[in-house]
Structure 1
Amino acid sequence: MAPRGKSRSDAQESESVDPAAGLLPAGLRDVLAPRAEWEAQASEKLLAGFARHGYVRVKPPLIEFEETLLAGSGVALAGQMFRVMDPVSQRMMGLRNDVTLQVARIAATRLRDAVRPLRMAYAGQVLRVRGSQLRPERQFAQAGFELIGSDALAADVETGVLAAEAVAALGVPGLSLDITQPQLAPTITEAHGLDPKAARAARRALDRKDAAELKAVGGAAAPTLLKLLELAGPARRALDGLKALKLPDAAAKIVADLDALVREVSAAAPDLLVTLDPGEFRGFEYHTGIAFSLFARNVRGELGRGGRYTTPAGEPATGFTLYLDSVMRALPAQPVPPMVYLPHGTPRSTGAELRRQGHATWAALNPEAGDLKKAAKAAGCSHVWDGTAVRPV
């Protein structure tokens, strides 16, 4: 347990050098106090924010049959799933690596007759086979929401704005919302007649921001794709550049939708920095339309991702998933509430009164062997009840 009174960075540092870390597999760790409490509080605040916008909480199971987790767009995440054999049914089960598709399953089964659009929120742990360079953790907490049953642009606006508002309400400074459309580049390569192999190579080069490779493999689409690479940045500038290009009709329609989205998001959240990366694809494999990443200026990597997809039942949907570990890293250091040491024999009524006053208490269960302040410090307390008042140790 991290000593009370340490800052958030102190607690994180003590976790990173934990000598017991070797007892756990790579990418897994124990989360200690006070970080575990802060993360739980942040999760509840996010869910409360979603609830104020009409999102009701659901709680899918940690593990379910493999075929339901891999239905539809879930196949894109198959390589990240841990699988086990269910000894009861003798069927393969999967540990969830994302909650979004479980919520989509609930919509298609338990809530198939409910009025659309459905608005559902969730929070829970996920487990993945491998971590990433920016997030080496293989188990982490997600909190998010899904809007299922509407293909209106207003649903996309609601998704991007609500995610940013909820995180800002926690106190995370310097937020920016990055928008992409994973179908823009494929629409361009298809219109220019690239075969599937060349289109995949061009998409990989675009993802890696490799202009030389993109020029080599992009064929007739290369000049336009290179422009997508150059235009990543502030949304208004990027859109002006996209609208100046000679795009196929289908791609021009995508740009028009992005233009409308950016106008509405900026109007709803004027203080939010909005950027656009028209060629981004990595991490959005199962998205079928407008997609988002949320960033904070003081944290490397995204705080969460979301966007448009199609449920296994064929319904249009959009949503946003926040990664609690990244969100916690973006929060400023939080004060640790004082913990008051109650010496052995302190009446329970005294502890109850102190808690009513807003203190946290730590009651000794055995007689102290020496000085009260020394005993309080050993217990990780910042204050002690001396029989008449609360005193700092």
Structure 2
Amino acid sequence: MNDAATRALLPEGLHDTLAPRAELESRAVVALLACFSAHGYDQVAPPLVEFEDSLLAGVGAAEGRRMFRLMDPASHRMMGVRTDMTTQVARVATTRLAAAPRPLRLCYAGQVLRVESGKLRSEREFGQAGIELIGTASTGAEAEVLLLAAEALHSVGAVDFTIDLTVPTLVPAVSAGLGLDAARAAIARDALDEKDMAGLSVFDGRVREVFETLLLAGGEADKALDALTGLDLPGEAAALVEELRAMVGTLRGAAPALTLTIDPGEYRNFEYHTGICFTAFDRNGSRELGRGGRYQVQGAASLEPAVGFTVYVDSLLRALPEPRRANAVFVPAGTPREAAEGLRSSGWRTVAGLDAVADDAREARRLGCSHVYRNGSVEGV
């Protein structure tokens, strides 16, 4: 391998983003933040690196296995590179903004870094953009966040996606209602999360029937709700299903074109969530565009309810049409500065010639320009 190839080699899961995709990513983040801001969400920008114990507090407790760590030479304390921005926004909300009126609406965008890639993505560094609504546990808050998530995805051109709803506390509630001990409840939860029908073979009778129906109920929202309602679930579980039904009704009324599905058994990566959660997938389900739901943050004196949503910018970009380079006009050396400024004011992207050349059109093509400025006008090349 030659020296140039060696220097271009990057660690697994890291990559250079080049034009025009880098430009598309920047525009997408700007559009997402503008959408969030229009709904009253204030942007915050926490640092890329923090003290480890801060990043692992509260909702970040499960992130330790994914975190890069380093020693701070100034304080001699361990620091971590953020793996997710939700923990940081929760810290900002409960410390620097502890006295701010609730509900508190915050938005953010930035890069995160993880030790390992996940099942649905090969990247270890990627962009996030999202919102957190802190200080209320109302169904209205969940609906606002979910609908804003869908609107934000639409704002950058994503149109062919589904919203998959789940309630991570449902299976534990069913298990408790059926009288299962902790070990058997864990078996059921893992089997349902992994869609493993064989894993349910350890159960029999009514218990097996309920769990198999839960596993098979996933899919289109109305059909899933009918299957869940027909199970005659124990009290707390039945209440969770009714809460899910009410949410579907609210979303249908506000955004009837939104495609909704339900996965009753999913809980992985929703371990700290306490209510309805949702994931946005591209239409074929191969890309997870973002996820969110209800959780709790540790305030100064007590837990605060919160609802949030995070967009995975890299996955979102892959769900969009392949970007094309914007047309550019080559401006030959010696062209008056005012002329080039006029072109940019008219929406052109200009590339200035630094030295005189024999053939301006050929130079324009060499530099990837679609047009050349000549004799006071723009001509195609």
Is TM > 0.5 for Structure 1 vs Structure 2?
A: yes
Q: Tell me whether 1:199 sits opposite 2:185 in the alignment.
A: yes
Change (3 A) 1:335 1:364: same
List per-residue Cα deviations over 1:297-350 (Å, max 9, x = no partner).
Answer: 266221100001111321100110001111111112445321111111111111
Q: Verify: 1:157 aligned to 2:143, yes or no.
A: yes
Aligned residue number for residue 172 of structure 1: 158
Question: Structure 1 residues 387, 127: closer, same or farther in 2, change over 3 A?
Answer: same
Distance 1:22 1:333, change over 3 A: closer
SS in 2 for 1:39: helix
Look up the match of 1:272.
Answer: 258
Which residue, out of 328, 332, 356, partners 1:343?
A: 332
Which residue of 343, 364, 375 corresponds with 1:387? 375
Equivalent residue number for residue 373 of structure 1: 361
Identity %, equivalent residues: 50
2:352 to 339, 350, 363: 363
2:27 maps to 1:45: no
3-state DSSP of counterpart to 2:158: coil
Report how many aligned residue pairs link the two structures: 375
Query: The residue matched to 2:89 in structure 1 has which SS?
Result: helix
CA drift of 1:187 comes to 1.4
Q: Equivalences for 1:317-332 in 2 at 5 Å?
A: 317-332=306-321
Residues 121 and 20 of structure 1: CA distance in aligned 2, closer, same or farther (over 3 Å):
farther
Would you say the 8 A contact 2:20–2:324 is kept in 1? no
**Deviation per CA, 1:172-225, whole angstroms, max 9, x where unpaired?**
122211100001011112233333233222222111111111232689633212
The answer to whether the 8 Å contact 1:147/1:155 transfers is yes
* 1:303 counterpart SS class: strand
Residue number in structure 2 paired with 1:315: 304
SS of 1:247's equivalent? coil
Residue aligning to 1:15:
none
For residues 84-99 of structure 1, the aligned pairs below 5 Å read 84-99=70-85
Q: Matches of 1:134 and 1:21 in 2, distance apart? A: 28
SS of 2:106 mapped into structure 1: strand
User: Is residue 202–residue 218 contact of structure 1 (8 Å, CA) maintained in 2?
Assistant: no
Q: Relative to 1, partners in 2 of residues 1:220 and 1:198: Cα closer, same or farther, differing over 3 Å? A: farther
Question: Does 2:114 align with 1:128?
Answer: yes
Corresponding residue SS for 1:375? helix
Q: Does 1:28 align with 2:22?
A: no
What secondary structure sits across from 1:120 in the alignment? strand
Give, in whole Å, the separation in 2 of the partners of 1:168 and 1:145.
16
CA contact (8 A) 2:20 2:323 kept: no
| TM-score, normalisation: structure 2 | 0.94
1:169 Cα deviation after fit? 2.2
> What pairs with 1:274-313 in structure 2 (closer than 5 Å)?
274-297=260-283, 300-313=286-299
Rounded Cα–Cα distance in structure 2 between residues aligned with 1:268 and 1:77: 35
Q: Distance in 2 between matches of 1:385 and 1:104?
A: 52
Q: CA RMSD in A?
A: 1.8
With 193-202 and 156-165 compared, the bigger mean Cα shift is at 193-202
Amino acid of the residue matched to residue 309 of structure 2? F
Task: Tell me, in whole angstroms, the C-alpha distance in 2 between the residues paired with 1:88 and 1:237.
Answer: 58
User: After superposition, what is the alpha-carbon deviation per residue over 1:275-299, rounded to whole angstroms, capped at 9, x for unaligned?
Assistant: 1111111221221211000122266
The 1:20/1:42 distance shift into structure 2, 3 A limit, reads farther
SS in 1 for 2:280: strand
**Partner Cα distance (1:79, 1:110) in 2:** 27
Distance 1:21 1:48, change over 3 A: farther
Residues 20 and 278 of structure 1: is their aligned pair in 2 closer, same or farther, counting only changes over 3 Å?
A: farther
Farther-moved stretch of structure 1 (230-239 vs 165-174) = 165-174
Aligned pair 1:112/2:98, yes or no? yes
Gaps of 5+ in 1: 1-17
CA contact (8 A) 1:69 1:102 kept: yes
Q: Which residue number corresponds to residue 226 of structure 1?
A: 212
What runs of 5+ residues in structure 2 fail to find an aligned partner?
none
CA contact (8 A) 1:148 1:316 kept: yes
Q: Distance in 1 between matches of 2:305 and 2:158?
A: 31
TM-score (norm 1): 0.91
Amino acid at match of 2:362: K
Separation in structure 2 between the aligned mates of residue 261 and residue 21 of structure 1, nearest angstrom: 52
Are 1:342 and 1:361, in contact at CA under 8 Å, matched by a contact in 2? yes
**Structure 2 Cα separation of the partners of residues 378 and 147 of structure 1:** 50
Aligned partner of residue 322 in structure 1, secondary structure = strand
Aligned AA for 2:368? Answer: G
Q: 1:147 corresponds to which letter in structure 2? A: L
Give the alignment partner of residue 144 of structure 1, picking from 107, 120, 130: 130
The residue type paired with residue 66 of structure 2 is Q
Give yes or no for contact 2:192–2:265 (8 Å, CA) kept in 1. yes
